[in-house]
Amino acid sequence: MYANLEFEGYDEKRAEEYFLKTIAMSAEIDSKRVQYEFHRSLSALYERQKRWEESQIHFKHYHELYLEVQNEESTKQALLMEHRRKIEESERDRQIKLARFQEQEKILHNILPSKIADRIVAGEKTIADTHASVSVFFSDIVGFTKISQRISATELVRMLNSLFTQFDRLAQKHGLEKIKTIGDAYMAVCGVPESNEQHAYHVAMFALDVQSLMADFRENAGEDITIRIGLHCGSVVAGIIGEAKFAFDLWGDAVNTASRMESHGEAGKIHVSEEFVRNLTPTLSKGEGEEKQVLSLGEDLGEVAVLPRGEMHIKGKGMMKTYYLQKATL
């Protein structure tokens, strides 16, 4: 203000005094921006007084400090931009990792039961559960090997995919968990990973639907192809095998026996164990004739029939009473 020519109280000495004090105070608090502004103002004041040497000294201080401030500002901006870049890069990485994790989680839910997949995602390392009472389904397509020898690989895969996709839909409809396919064999279970008191009923309904599906396929495709099905009830251990590639599987005598029911059965028929029949319904009433027994499943469940096959030797099991399951014809 005192250095302003238009101010009534214009006073060069007082202006110089305040400029020098301000420059000294600014240097103490390291405020370079204030320093260079007042060096420039003092340089201008000395120039008006024709004190050229002093004016030049303060103008030089002004210029040096100005450049320092500009460099510091540039450095700050560069650091700020680098910081923002790292934050943005970190966020991009986080989003990519999240997307990958969600995709992996989706894949896990596609190949494993949902509850098992959730346990893996939650960090559980070893999954092994015992289920006291379940029903196991095994099937094998009869005649498929001959067909595979005369059709292309593409047609072969397309046929199996079409059939097993329909099996999967039926399994979901009846509350079964698909375990795996091996070649043209299909394995499923009810009562795993969640218990189900009516596991035998649901597997029986699934087996009958699969049997009907294959009969329709045989008729529509004109192929000499059918299915052999085996069912059994019992306890199993269910768990995850593998680290890089997870596989949910079952172990136990019930699995082996269900497999034996399938392999010792007949094409086009559902071969079941006596244990399966006992689990299917608590009430067993005789139908017409000695050979046919009708299982009453209640008004809402419909009815099925079991035909005693008699005792037969089952590999690895010895003599067993077995039956054929079919829709009741009343």
- Looking at residue 283, its pLDDT comes to 41
Q: Are residues 206 and 290 in the same domain?
A: yes
Q: What is the Cα–Cα distance from 12 to 46, expressed in whole angstroms?
A: 9
Q: Are residues 268 and 237 in the same domain?
A: yes
- Looking at residue 254, its pLDDT comes to 95
Asked, for residue 122, whether it belongs to a domain, the answer is: no
- Helix, strand and coil content of the chain, in percent to the nearest 5, comes to 50, 25, 25
- Looking at residue 232, its pLDDT comes to 97
Q: What is the Cα–Cα distance from 218 to 144, expressed in whole angstroms?
A: 11
- Looking at residue 302, its pLDDT comes to 56
Q: How many domains, in total, are found in the chain?
A: 2
Walk along the chain (330 residues) in steps of 10 and give the mean pLDDT of each run: 86 89 88 86 88 90 87 87 90 84 75 83 86 96 88 90 95 95 95 93 95 91 88 95 84 95 95 94 48 57 80 90 86
Asked, for residue 117, whether it belongs to a domain, the answer is: no
- Looking at residue 288, its pLDDT comes to 45
- CA-based end-to-end distance of the chain: 115
- Looking at residue 130, its pLDDT comes to 94
Q: Are residues 95 and 197 in the same domain?
A: no
- Looking at residue 187, its pLDDT comes to 97
Q: Are residues 240 and 170 in the same domain?
A: yes
Q: Are residues 178 and 295 in the same domain?
A: yes
Using omega within 30 degrees of 0 as the cis cutoff, is the peptide bond preceding 308 cis?
no
Q: Are residues 103 and 164 in the same domain?
A: no
Within 13 A of 226's CA, how many CA atoms are on the CB side?
A: 10
- Looking at residue 286, its pLDDT comes to 44
Q: List, in sequence order, the alpha helices (H) in 29-51.
A: 32-48
Q: Are residues 61 and 176 in the same domain?
A: no
Assessment of whether the complete model's pTM goes beyond 0.85: no
> Do residues 3 and 15 touch, judged by C-beta distance below 8 A?
yes
Asked, for residue 220, whether it belongs to a domain, the answer is: yes
Asked, for residue 121, whether it belongs to a domain, the answer is: no
Full residue range of the structural domain in which residue 14 is found = 1-111
Asked, for residue 65, whether it belongs to a domain, the answer is: yes
Ramachandran area for residue 139 (φ above 0: left; ψ -120 to 50: alpha; else beta): beta
